[in-house]
Amino acid sequence: MNFARVCGSVVSNTRDESYISSRFMLIESCDSEAKGSGSYLVALDIIDSRPGDMVLVCQGSSCRWTFETENLPVDTLIVGIVDRVYSGNKTLYLG
């Protein structure tokens, strides 16, 4: 899994029927302190994230291991919203 920041939504009115109830979000890869890398991806969102949220993202075949995405052609999936990131005794990110 990787960290990313949700930057916005992607609107697609014409899409495969299996995605009808799903949302696509524009995400920017980031580090553990939520500093963006300048690299953007489109991710399927199954947890109702919002722009500005720091999220956990999985990529590759593991994206299809959820009930919502089983057998769907998904390469990038938002699976969690980050509240805090700790390293040792230091808080790196506080949402």
Report the DSSP pairing between strands 36-45 and 54-59.
unpaired
User: pLDDT tens, position by position, for the chain (95 residues)?
Assistant: 999 999 999 998 888 777 767 899 999 999 999 999 999 999 999 899 999 999 999 999 888 888 788 888 889 999 999 999 999 999 999 98
Domain positions in the chain are: 2-12+21-94
Name the CATH topology of 2-12+21-94. OB fold (Dihydrolipoamide Acetyltransferase, E2P) (2.40.50)
| Number of Cα atoms under 13 Å in the Cβ half of residue 87 | 5
Supply the pLDDT for residue 48. 93
What pLDDT does residue 52 have? 95
Q: What is the pLDDT of residue 54?
A: 97
Residue among 59, 67, 31, 19 at smallest CA distance from 43: 59
Q: Which pLDDT score, from 0 to 100, does residue 61 have? A: 86
pTM for the full model? 0.87
Asked if 42 and 8 count as a contact pair (C-beta separation under 8 A), the reply is no
Question: Alpha-carbon distance 94 to 73, whole Å?
Answer: 33
Task: Say how many CA atoms lie within 13 Å of 68 toward its Cβ.
Answer: 14
